[in-house]
Copies of this chain bind each other. A is one copy, B any other.
Amino acid sequence: MYYAKPLGRLVGELEKLPGIGPKSAQRLAFYLLRVPRDEANFTDQEQCEVCRNERRDRSLLCVVADPRDLIALEKTGEYAGVYHVLGGVISPTDHIFAENLRMRELVERVAAGGVRETILAVNPTVEGEATAHYITRILQPFDVKVTKIAFGLPVGGDLDYADQATLIQALEGRREMK
């Protein structure tokens, strides 16, 4: 249901391998997809099934690095908008630069109008932050709100056992109570 059908079949086949659970099968499937085209590929068509769904809110555009992130967010059942998959994050040490990612396509989507908010669902890593800042800059000319998902204490976590970097993010990211 989250995957395009051929991808779902691939995941299903990989799960049959010994020692491969659903999560590993998913990782392997995306890896296999990535090999030939040198880019992440969540669908066998121009748009993925989420974006083709007429009921999704097209004014909300969530930017993710990877199709796996899209699936993680879909599983929450809390997100009603559409997605843009970059195919990775900016990582100069891995020789991945903005031009290797689907940045131009992102700008084109936003420039086409109708997007009210772009949500940057990047990982809380140096590369994720760099990618978020790059996108904020390239979307600045457009009339779109750019937000980033919250970094802080994970649910069920404990302040006393959180690492310092997370605590610093939690403090800096504090929000007013209503």
Contacts and interface: CB of A to CB of B under 8 A. Distances in A.
A61 B174 CA distance: 13
A148 B163 contact: no
Given A72-B159, A163-B154, A173 B174 contact: no
B123 A153 contact: yes
Interface residues of A, number: 55
A51 interface: no
A64 to B, nearest CB: 7
Q: Count chain B CB atoms within 10 A of each CB in A122, A166, A178 and give the residue with the most.
A: A166
Interface stretch (A7-15, A75-83, A92-100, A108-116): A75-83
Contacts of A150: 150-153, 169-175
A16 interface: no
Contacts of A146: 176-177
Interface string A56-97: 000000001010110111011011000000000000000000
A155 B167 CA distance: 9
A45 interface: no
B124 A149 contact: no
A145 B176 CA distance: 7
A157 interface: yes
A150 B145 CA distance: 20
Contact of A152 (B68, B152, B164): B152
